[in-house]
Amino acid sequence: MASSPPGSPTDDENPKPDSNHTDPNPTAIDALARQIQESLAVGNRHRFWETQPVGQFKDLGDSSLPEGPIEAPTPLSEVKPEPYNLPSLYEWSTCDMDDEGTCAEVYALLTNNYVEDDENMFRFNYSKEFLRWALRPPGYFRSWHIGVRVKASRKLVAFITGVPARIRVREDVVLMAEINFLCVHKKLRSKRLAPVMIKEVTRRVHLENIWQAAYTAGIVLPTPVATCRYWHRSLNPKKLIDVGFSRLGPRMTMSRTIRLYKLPDSTTTPGFRKMEANDVAAVTRLLREYLGQFAVAPDFDEHDVEHWLLPQENVIDSFLVESPETHEITDFCSFYTLPSSILNNPNYSLLKAAYSYYNVSMKTPLLQLMNDMLIVAKQKDYDVFNALDVMQNESFLKELKFGPGDGQLHYYLYNYRIRNALKPAELGLVLL
């Protein structure tokens, strides 16, 4: 079990270790890496990654190596024009997330087969609305939403995706791919579909003349550009303890625990309100100014802000502070919704989790802003609020009674070198 963070209530109940709620962003790279690590002898563990254009452990801190792309782009004429071969019973299928039937198939595949915690108690339950939001940002490529079907039955049995993103690294804005949602049906895990799916999505990314990627993983590979931790704030401690997400702390009763995590009934910041469509321009300016201080951050324009941050019920919630006197937008905060199915519990079937997204504190103290957001999440019946220690988040975690998860989340850049690992506070990027 995790121990309580220094300076937080020692009677805190703590998240279960090594579960998907302690590393809530397993990506395609994570899943592939685990397969590769498990299949190799210890001495060969990193040989695969040593063949890839990623930062290598042996080069750490070598000031003679330039930051930036590791390999130059290949001429597009040399990118393999046809898809990689699948086993004979299967075929590639481009998944149109606008189509209700296809979206339902993807939802069913992920809901029943995506990442579970080690003890098979929780499994991510991405909603169809969330999947459409995550996979259709401005400029997305439908060809990067890749399915594998059984030829005879047309059943969807595997899935992988990429979306394009503009990521600023130091002074340079780089077009990258974010890879996600690698999922293979449980009964086909021995077919070695994952590696060929990774190669296929990489091929399709290269066909669009994109040569870099950003991704996260719960394990150490060559070479993290930053290592972060998720922290968890109980909103419904009784339910979290009942379903096994948390445990009752030593010397704590349930009633004391409930009192410990009790929040005010209403927000306290004057002018705190939900974001609306006509706020997009102001929020974009605020966000761009704020994110400029971090070494790695998204390069958002108004189209991106409209897509990623305009509220959608049970997908993304965004709030801002509008000065009652000047009507200036001074602060902004947001969280996305990613529930987990609760497996084999007679009383509960869903854990409703909020994940801190982008927060900008200019006039309102961040501690106060985040406390108001916790109050809103509690009003909306969320069970737990999760936040990474990126950006300035560390300044509020302990005081607002977040407890640390056991798993670490490592950030990686593919085909892009950063000489020295960044501290979490230097990172302005949150990947779904």
Q: What is the pLDDT of residue 48?
A: 65
State yes or no: pLDDT of 9 exceeds 50: no
CATH number for the domain spanning 162: value is 3.40.630.170
Query: In this predicted structure, what is the pLDDT of residue 34?
Result: 54
272-315 pLDDT, tens per residue?
A: 999 999 999 999 999 999 999 999 999 999 999 999 999 999 99
Angle of helix 28-39 relative to helix 193-207, nearest 10 degrees, comes to 140
Q: How confident is the model at residue 366 (pLDDT cuts 50, 70, 90)?
A: very high
pLDDT at 19 over 50: no
pLDDT (0 to 100) of residue 52: 80
Residue 239 structure tokens: 């339910």
> Is 136 among the domain residues?
yes
Q: What are phi and psi of 272, to 5 degrees?
A: -75, 120
User: Is there a contact between 245 and 351 (Cβ–Cβ < 8 Å)?
Assistant: yes
Q: What is the pLDDT of residue 31?
A: 52
d(CA 177, CA 103): 21
Same domain, 156 and 184: yes
152 in the same domain as 289? no
What's the pLDDT score for residue 21?
38
Confidence band, pLDDT 50/70/90 cuts, at residue 33: low
> In terms of C-beta distances under 8 Å and separation of at least 24 residues, what long-range contacts does 99-105 make, across chains too?
103/128, 103/131, 103/132, 104/128, 105/147, 105/156
**At 129, which amino acid appears?**
E
Nearest to 362 by CA among 263, 226, 233, 271: 271
The answer to whether residue 308 is domain-embedded is: yes
Checking if the pLDDT of 317 tops 80, the result is yes
Name the domain count of the chain.
Answer: 2
User: What pLDDT score does 17 carry?
Assistant: 30
In a domain, 342, yes or no: yes
Domain membership of residue 152 (yes or no) is: yes
In a shared domain, residues 203 and 147 = yes
List the single range of 5-9, 112-116, 326-330 with lowest mean pLDDT. Answer: 5-9
- Domain holding 289, by residue range, is 229-413
pLDDT at residue 362 above 80? yes
Contact between 207 and 79 under an 8 Å Cβ cutoff? The reply is yes
Is 205 inside a domain boundary?
Answer: yes
User: Do 185 and 247 fall into the same domain?
Assistant: no
Q: Is residue 18 part of a domain?
A: no
pLDDT at 230: 93
Identify the band that residue 270 occupies on the pLDDT scale cut at 50, 70 and 90: very high
Looking at the structure, do residues 32 and 56 belong to the same domain, yes or no? Answer: yes
- Domain boundary (226, 244, 267) is at 226
Confidence band, pLDDT 50/70/90 cuts, at residue 221: confident
Residues 242 and 296 in one domain: yes
pLDDT attached to residue 222: 82
Q: What phi and psi values does residue 157 have, to the nearest 5 degrees?
A: -125, -5
* 20 within a domain of the structure (yes/no): no
Mean pLDDT taken over the chain:
88
Domain shared by 148 and 234, yes or no = no
Query: Per residue, what are the HEC states of the chain?
Result: CCCCCCCCCCCCCCECCCCCCCCCCCCHHHHHHHHHHHHCCHHHCCHHHHCCCCCCHHHCCCCCCCCECCCCCCCHHHCCCCCCCCCCCEEEEECCCCCHHHHHHHHHHHHHHCCECCCCCEEECCCHHHHHHHHCCCCCCHHHEEEEEECCCCCEEEEEEEEEEEEEECCEEEEEEEEEEEEECHHHHHHCHHHHHHHHHHHHHHHCCCCEEEEEECCCCCCCCEEEEEEEEECCHHHHHHCCCECCCCCCCHHHHHHHCCCCCCCCCCCEEECCHHHHHHHHHHHHHHHCCCCEEECCCHHHHHHHHCCECCCEEEEEEECCCCCCEEEEEEEEECCEEECCCCCCCEECEEEECCCEECCCCHHHHHHHHHHHHHHCCCCEEEEECCCCCHHHHCCCCCEEEEEEEEEEEECCECCCCECHHHECCCCC
Question: What percentage of the chain reaches a pLDDT higher than 70?
Answer: 88
Residue 11: per-residue pLDDT: 34
Torsion over CA: 274, 277, 282, 283 (sign): positive
- Establish if 6 belongs to a structural domain: no
Q: How confident is the model at residue 43 (pLDDT cuts 50, 70, 90)?
A: very low
CB atoms within 10 A of CB 246: 26
Q: Kindly state whether residues 61 and 140 are assigned to the same domain.
A: yes
Active-site residue list? 432
Is the whole-model pTM more than 0.75? yes
Confidence of residue 203 (pLDDT cuts 50, 70, 90): very high
pLDDT of residue 42: 43
Question: What is the rounded average pLDDT of the residues 325-339?
Answer: 97
- One domain, residues 294 and 372: yes
Over residues 48-94, the pLDDT tens digits come to 677 788 888 878 777 888 899 999 999 999 999 999 999 999 999 99
CB-side exposure of 150: number of CA atoms within 13 Å? 10
Query: Token digits for 189?
Result: 């895990």
Among the residue ranges 57-66, 86-95, 124-133, 253-262, the one predicted with the least confidence is 57-66
Q: Are 191 and 316 members of one domain?
A: no
Pick the closest to residue 245 from 66, 346, 119 (CA basis).
119
